Amino acid sequence: MFALSHTQTLQLNDQGQLRHYLSIDGLSRELLTELLDTADSFLEVGARSVKKVPLLRGMTVCNVFFENSTRTRTTFELAAKRLSADVINLDISTSSTSKGESLFDTLRNLEAMAADMFVMRHGDSGAAHFVAEHVCPNVAVINAGDGRHSHPTQGMLDMLTIRRHKGDFAGLSVAIVGDILHSRVARSDMLALRTLGCTDIRVIAPKSLLPVGIEQYGATVYHDMNAGLKDVDVVIMLRLQKERMQGGLLPSEGEFFRLYGLTQQRLALAKPDALVMHPGPINRGVEIESAVADGEHSVILNQVTYGIAVRMAVLAMTMSGQKTQRQLDQESEA
């Protein structure tokens, strides 16, 4: 596991703009709001007959995914192409990494291909930070999920979903339900909600699926699903990450659904206009029943659509921050 250090300094240029996008931790409400506003403006691009703008023309974005992904990798690819960038998708299963090449050597080889931006997913917490600390100064790094630590673009697409359906975050009650322990999405959502002014953040989970120190995120812990869902505005269900679990955390999937699965009956405890969200992939009958996942409260597919716009915003803002920093460096050397 790589060390997580000086995230804020690493992410921002000398004018407070993004030059890497690694974590929501340390970013200001103003910057997160700018990101959401920029994403809002990009939603219109997806409705055009020609879904392209020239902001990243001539730039090369490299998707480097050390873990499997469908929605995140695909929406990053679409986002980069809609910004007119060239895109390289590195298949780690067939790359030299599978033959023992180190992360550092993989990085140097990608730099030699003149990539301008790395979009990176890795199973180790802090991997994107490690790359950002060692990458060439003119290359941007976007964290597409690292271990249990952070998934900052998912966090912001969740925030865009909430804002477009609920408006201001102040006064909202948001419940995050399920496998909090292994969820980088939960951590990013809690950080973003707190930064954007949400004061009632609830986490609902069995004790075995809660991390130590959950209180630092400003969340209230519930072990009873019914109590936790009472009068909430938003319910964010999480996938059970069985691939990260060791034995003994759960008696069975059936028992988990009985106690923590989102059913129509349980959803009735929330406010009548409550949103139902899920980062995917959905395990129907384990975390959520189909009638809820496909029901009138569900905005799960909206999240995917908004994800393209948020990732366009992150790519555009980060590349702009890199350009500004290069100009500042050149001026200081002159």
Strand pairing category for 234-237 and 117-122? unpaired
Q: Is 281 annotated as a binding residue?
A: yes
Q: Is 71 annotated as a binding residue?
A: yes
Highest mean pLDDT: which range of 6-10, 255-259, 272-276: 272-276
239 known ligand binder: yes
> Is 206 part of any known ligand binding site?
no
Alpha-carbon dihedral sign for residues 238, 194, 127, 74: positive
User: Would you state the pLDDT for residue 4?
Assistant: 44
Can you tell me which residue has the tokens 């995914």?
A: 65
Output 46 or 198, whichever has higher pLDDT: 198
Fold match flag (7-150+305-327 vs 152-299): yes
CATH of region 152-299, choose from 3.40.50.1370, 3.40.50.1820, 3.40.109.10, 3.30.420.40: 3.40.50.1370
User: 121 labelled as ligand-binding?
Assistant: yes
pLDDT in tens, 242-257: 654 455 456 678 888 9
pTM of structure = 0.92
**108 a known binding residue?**
no
Topology (CATH) of 7-150+305-327: Rossmann fold (3.40.50)
- Alpha-carbon distance of 286 to 88, in angstroms, equals 36
| Range name among 5-19, 31-45, 171-185 with the lowest pLDDT average | 5-19
pLDDT digits (tens, 9 = 90+) for 77-128: 999 999 999 999 886 755 545 545 677 787 788 888 888 999 999 988 998 9
Ranges of each domain in the chain: 7-150+305-327, 152-299
